[in-house]
Amino acid sequence: QVQLVESGGGTVRAGASLTLSCAFSGGTFSDYAMAWFRQTPGKEREWVSAISWSGYTPYYAKSVEGRFRISRDNVKNMVTLQANRLEPEDTAVYYCAATRGGSDWYRGDDSYRDWGQGTQVTVSS
């Protein structure tokens, strides 16, 4: 059974950076595309970024493009989200998720079946 464990959240000032990490276990990491989502209370979950099985192709939501960078290490079974120039609007619980594939996996479709427990990111102005 796939398990995902996020880490790296915290409270920072606007303009700062955070590195979120997600450790994968319980399966073959390279069989999965990976993504980050985020959610704030009272709002729908928002897709943030995705990365292909090989790690060569990243995708980003417009709200984070140019500020966030996703990467993966298929040896260490880790996916990382480098969040730069953070804004108060980035405050949310960030979740790591895995999919074997879906028609729109690169935009955070409903094919993601395995999820981590989340890590809180709070950005103060």
pLDDT in tens, 27-38: 999 999 999 999
Q: Are 58 and 69 in contact (CB under 8 A)?
A: yes
Q: How many Å apart are CA 54 and CA 44, to the nearest integer? A: 29
Q: Is pLDDT of 102 > 90?
A: no
**Main-chain phi, psi angles of 89, to 5 degrees:** -70, -10
Q: 70 is written with which tokens?
A: 């996703």
- For all residues of the chain together, what is the average pLDDT? 96
Q: Is pLDDT of 8 > 90?
A: yes
What pLDDT sits at residue 12?
A: 98
Q: How many Å apart are CA 6 and CA 94, to the nearest integer? A: 8
User: For residue 63, how many other CB atoms are within 10 A of its CB?
Assistant: 14
Task: Sort 15 into a burial class: Cβ within 10 Å, 0-12 / 13-18 / 19+.
Answer: exposed
What pLDDT sits at residue 40?
A: 96
Share of the chain above pLDDT 70, in %: 100
What pLDDT sits at residue 28?
A: 96
pLDDT in tens, 26-79: 999 999 999 999 999 999 999 999 999 998 999 999 999 999 999 999 999 999
